[in-house]
């Protein structure tokens, strides 16, 4: 190690020592003020200063350790880790003492106030379930908040009440000290309350997200839920800055479908320079708006699907509806189906799809050639007089009509039956509907739409 490097290491070591000394001076001042029964507001201010000094100490400790060799200074590195654990324990003791003081002061204030309880007023209030914690790091901040709010006022510092709220790994953590409330919470804080552990757990879940394909609306909604929950968990612990980085936004951008990615890029370019400081907040607001829009679309799609099924059920009923209603519904279904057929035909035309690999096509503007008999691709006879098409069964005829965009009135291509100039009633006896007689009969006609809608 060169002379300059050694001097830099010594400088980092001194800065760490200064930060450590400041931490212990503030802690000593807190202890003295507590013994002198200072007001809670004074103790709270000292506790804040102590937390700031601990954060500064962590920074100086990390910078000092970066200059140590992992192999040569292994013992020194372990000693520094142990010392930081001990100092964090001292910080926890101060925070616990402040919490106890605050609760006692609040209890004294509440006892002086007169109020009528729900039982005295005759109201029956359901007993609240106690908060539960099994050892999942991300659940710990909420558990601790709920315990302080709901359990402490009723049970105080009763270790048995706390034990009943724990299970699994969390219960094993307090094994052997389950008769000491403060020691139980100290161990839980050391294992689950460290900010860096919560941050690692949240970021690990974000890394598990995978890229979404276009049209996967449900996948997008679930992904936004995960991102929002991660943000909220970090915000509870005051660690939202862990996600408020351009790197985090860029990683999530790569997972978005192309449509949302394009919209976000346009929106990001319009952000002001001052808004880049809270870029993740703007990004999350964008994702939540997109999620709400997709949820609305999904809901409308389900409603439309239910309406269509209702109409189909009515069209294929037992004759209880009037003839006029049945005709109207059938015509609407006819229009919708033909629109779908024509749209599919246009898509196939644009993509250059060839029927069975040997359909001969020529381009005249944007239109494909239309044969008189599109079933055989010949002009020697009309499709309405094609015996080959007429001999097909019903399903095959409908499949051919759908794939070739045939009109249900004249069987020719290029238009909808609602716009057909050669509309005529079916010649099959007992059927007076407006469609060609070759592929359909009245009974099959209604059933047909049920199958294809």
Nearest to 309 by CA among 294, 329, 325, 295: 329
Give pLDDT, residue 18. 92
Angle at CA 74, nearest 5°, toward 70 and 79?
125
State the DSSP code for 148.
Answer: I
Residues 125 and 119: their CA atoms lie apart, in Å, by 8
DSSP secondary structure code for residue 151 in this structure: I
Of 440, 444, 359, 369, residue with least CA distance to 401: 440
Quick: pLDDT tens for 174-202: 888 888 898 998 889 888 888 777 778 88
What's the pLDDT score for residue 364? 36
The reported pLDDT for the residue numbered 25 is 93
Q: How far apart are CA 100 and CA 235, in angstroms?
A: 24
Q: DSSP characters for 59-117?
A: HHHHHHHHTS-TTTTHHHHHHHHHHHHHHHHHHHHHHHHHHHHHHHHHHHHHHHS----
| pLDDT < 70: residue spans in the chain | 1, 111-127, 275-276, 300-369, 429-432, 438-453
Contacts of 399 (CB under 8 A, 6+ apart): none
Overall pTM surpassing 0.75 (yes/no): no
Q: Which of 184, 119, 181, 176 is nearest to 152 (CA)?
A: 181
What digits encode the pLDDT tens for the residues 37-79? Answer: 888 888 899 999 999 999 999 999 888 888 888 888 888 888 9
Which residue has 């716009």 as its token pair? 419
Per-residue pLDDT, 53: 92
3-state SS assignment for residue 406: strand
The residue among 336, 339, 361 whose CA lies nearest residue 350 is: 361
Place of tokens 């006892």: 111
CA–CA separation, 170 and 187 (whole Å): 10
Question: Dihedrals φ, ψ of 378, to 5°?
Answer: -140, 165
Residue 406: φ, ψ to 5°: -80, 145
Total residues belonging to the chain: 453
């Amino acid at each position: 190690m060169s002379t300059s490097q050694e001097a830099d290491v010594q400088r980092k070591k001194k800065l760490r020592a200064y930060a450590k000394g400041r931490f212990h001076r503030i802690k000593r001042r807190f202890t003295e003020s507590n013994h002198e029964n200072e007001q809670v507001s004074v103790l709270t201010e000292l506790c804040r200063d102590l937390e700031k000094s601990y954060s500064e100490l962590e920074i100086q400790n990390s910078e000092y350790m970066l200059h140590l060799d992992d192999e040569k200074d292994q013992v020194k590195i372990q000693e520094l880790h142990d010392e930081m654990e001990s100092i964090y324990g001292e910080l926890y003791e101060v925070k616990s003492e402040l919490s106890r003081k605050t609760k006692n002061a609040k209890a004294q204030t509440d006892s002086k106030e007169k109020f009528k309880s729900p039982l005295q007023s005759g109201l029956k209030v359901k007993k609240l379930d106690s908060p539960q914690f099994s050892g999942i790091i991300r659940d710990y901040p909420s558990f601790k908040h709920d315990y302080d709010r709901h359990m402490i006022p009723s049970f105080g510092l009763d270790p048995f009440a706390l034990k009943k709220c724990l299970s699994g790994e969390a219960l094993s953590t307090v094994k052997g000290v389950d008769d000491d409330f403060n020691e139980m919470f100290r161990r839980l804080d050391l294992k689950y309350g460290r900010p860096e552990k919560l941050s690692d757990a949240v970021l690990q879940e974000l890394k598990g997200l995978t890229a979404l394909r276009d049209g996967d609306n449900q996948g997008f909604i679930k992904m936004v839920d995960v991102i929002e929950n991660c943000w909220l968990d970090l915000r509870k612990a005051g660690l939202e800055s862990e996600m408020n980085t351009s790197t985090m936004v860029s990683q999530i951008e790569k997972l978005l479908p192309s449509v949302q990615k394009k919209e976000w890029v346009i929106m990001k370019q319009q952000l002001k320079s001052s808004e880049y400081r809270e870029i993740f907040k703007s990004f999350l607001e964008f994702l939540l708006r997109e999620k709400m829009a997709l949820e609305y679309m999904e809901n409308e799609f389900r409603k439309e699907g239910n309406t269509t099924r209702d109409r189909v059920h009515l069209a294929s009923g037992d004759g209880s509806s009037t003839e006029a209603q049945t005709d109207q519904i059938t015509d609407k279904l006819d229009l919708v189906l033909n629109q779908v057929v024509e749209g599919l035909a246009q898509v196939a035309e644009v993509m250059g799809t060839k029927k069975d690999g040997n359909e001969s096509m020529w381009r005249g503007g944007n239109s494909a050639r239309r044969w008189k008999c599109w079933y055989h691709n010949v002009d020697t006879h009309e499709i309405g007089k094609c015996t080959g098409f007429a001999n097909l069964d019903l399903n095959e005829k409908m499949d051919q009509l759908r794939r070739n965009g045939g009109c249900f009135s004249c069987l020719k291509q290029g238009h909808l039956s609602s716009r057909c100039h050669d509309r005529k009633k079916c010649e099959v006896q007992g059927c007076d509907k407006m469609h060609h007689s070759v592929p359909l009969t009245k009974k099959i006609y209604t059933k047909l739409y049920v199958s294809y809608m």
